[in-house]
C-alpha cells in the first residue's frame, strides 16, 4: 500500500495534565518529506503537544492520525509501533547503557538484523561521533553528544515521522550549530520531521511550515519567512 501524503495529522487536539487544558483545539498537518515547526515561548504547550502525540499525555478530545490511522487512544508503545519516533526534551537516554545499546533500543521493535545494520550505518554516517563513542556509557557524554544520541536513537526506529523537542535547549552556540547542521542534512534526505523550538529565527530556514503556539492555541500558521513580520509574533513573545 502506498504511503499516505500526510504523515501526521492533528485534528482539534485538546490535552492537559491534572488541571485545565494545556492544549486547546490544535490542528495541523505534517506532509511526508517535510519539516513542520511549532514555535512559541516556554510554558505554552510545545512539549505537551509532542507528549500528547506520542501518548505520554492522554488527549482529552480530538484526533491524532499517523499515516491515516487514528492513534490517540493507543498506549505509547503502540503509537511508537505505528511510526512515531519522539526525541524528547532532555534526551531521556538510558544512562547505564552504552551509546551503541541506546541506539539499538531505538530499533527495539525491528526484528530484521539486516535492516537494523543498515539503519546503524546511516546513523553513523550522519553522526560519526557516535561511532567513536559507541562503547561509552550515555551518562558520561557531553550535552551535545547526548542530543546526538537522542536523534540517532530516534532515527534507528525507522519511523514515519521524527518529532524533535527543542534539540538546541541548554547547548553552547557552537554545538547548537552542529545540531542544526544535522537537521539540515535530515531535510536533504527527505525525512519527515515535526520540530518544536522556542526561537523562530533559528529554524526559519530549515522548515517548510511554521505554527505559532500561544497559550496552548495555534494563533498563526504559514511559511516561516512571513511569520517574522507578523504582529502575532510580538504579541506571543512579549505579551499584549
Partner 1 sequence: MLDILTAVLVTGLTNGALYALATVGLSLIWGSMGMLNMAHGAMLALGGYITFTVVETLGLPLPVAMLAAVAAGALAGMLLYLGIVRSLLKSGGPGFETSVMIATVGIAIALQNALLLVYGGQPLRQPFAISGAVGVGAGVVPLLNIVIVAVAVAVMVAVSVLISRTRMGRAIRATAQNRDAALLMGVPVGRVYLQVLALSGGLAGICGVLVSSITQLTPGLGADPMLKAFIMCVVAGLGNLPGAIAAAFGLAIIEAAVQFGAGARWGFPVLLLLVIAILIWRPAGLFGRAQIRRM
Q: How far is the CB of 97 from partner 1 (least distance, A)?
A: 7
Which class for 43: exposed (0-12), middle (13-18), buried (19 or more C-beta within 10 A)? exposed
Q: In this structure, what C-alpha cell is assigned to residue 117?
A: 545494520
Nearer to partner 1 by Cβ, of 167 and 224: the residue is 167
Q: How far is the CB of 239 from partner 1 (least distance, A)?
A: 29
Nearer to partner 1 by Cβ, of 77 and 185: the residue is 77
Nearer to partner 1 by Cβ, of 162 and 212: the residue is 162
CB 202 within 8 A of CB 214: no
Distance CA 116, CA 67 (A): 22
Q: How far is the CB of 109 from partner 1 (least distance, A)?
A: 4
Q: How far is the CB of 30 from partner 1 (least distance, A)?
A: 18
Distance CA 164, CA 84 (A): 11
Nearer to partner 1 by Cβ, of 141 and 218: the residue is 141
Nearer to partner 1 by Cβ, of 60 and 230: the residue is 60
Range list of β-strands (E), the chain:
6-16, 21-31, 35-39, 59-66, 69-70, 84-87, 161-165, 193-197, 209-214, 217-222
Distance CA 158, CA 183 (A): 16
Q: How far is the CB of 90 from partner 1 (least distance, A)?
A: 10
Q: What residues line the site for partner 1 (CB under 8 A)? A: 54-56, 75-77, 80-81, 85-86, 88, 92-97, 101, 104-106, 108-109, 153, 157
Q: How far is the CB of 94 from partner 1 (least distance, A)?
A: 4
Nearer to partner 1 by Cβ, of 81 and 219: the residue is 81
Distance CA 43, CA 81 (A): 29
Residue 232: partners with Cβ closer than 8 Å, 6 or more residues away? 212, 214, 219, 220
Amino acid at each position: 500500500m502506498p504511503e499516505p501524503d500526510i504523515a501526521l495529522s492533528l485534528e482539534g487536539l485538546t490535552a492537559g495534565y491534572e488541571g485545565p487544558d494545556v492544549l486547546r483545539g490544535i490542528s495541523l498537518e505534517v506532509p511526508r518529506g517535510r519539516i513542520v515547526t511549532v514555535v512559541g515561548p516556554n510554558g505554552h504547550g510545545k512539549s505537551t503537544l509532542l507528549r500528547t502525540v506520542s501518548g505520554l499525555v492522554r488527549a482529552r478530545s480530538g484526533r491524532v492520525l499517523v499515516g491515516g490511522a487514528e492513534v490517540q487512544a493507543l498506549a505509547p508503545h503502540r503509537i511508537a509501533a505505528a511510526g512515531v519516533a519522539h526525541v524528547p526534551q532532555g534526551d531521556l537516554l538510558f544512562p547505564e547503557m552504552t551509546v551503541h545499546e541506546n541506539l539499538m533500543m531505538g530499533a527495539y521493535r525491528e526484528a530484521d538484523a539486516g535492516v537494523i545494520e543498515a539503519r546503524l550505518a546511516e546513523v553513523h554516517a550522519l553522526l560519526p561521533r557516535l561511532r567513536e563513542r559507541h562503547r561509552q556509557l550515555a551518562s558520561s557524554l557531553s550535552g551535545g553528544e547526548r542530543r546526538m544520541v537522542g536523534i540517532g536513537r530516534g532515527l534507528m526506529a525507522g519511523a514515519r515521522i521524527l518529532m524533535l523537542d527543542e534539540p538546541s535547549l541548554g547547548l553552547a552556540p557552537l554545538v547548537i550549530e552542529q545540531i542544526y547542521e544535522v537537521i539540515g542534512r535530515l531535510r536533504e534526505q527527505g525525512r519527515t520531521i515535526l520540530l518544536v523550538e522556542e526561537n523562530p529565527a533559528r529554524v526559519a530556514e530549515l522548515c517548510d511550515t511554521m505554527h505559532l503556539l500561544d497559550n496552548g492555541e495555534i494563533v498563526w500558521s504559514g511559511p516561516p519567512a512571513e511569520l517574522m513580520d507578523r504582529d502575532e509574533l510580538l504579541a506571543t513573545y512579549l505579551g499584549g
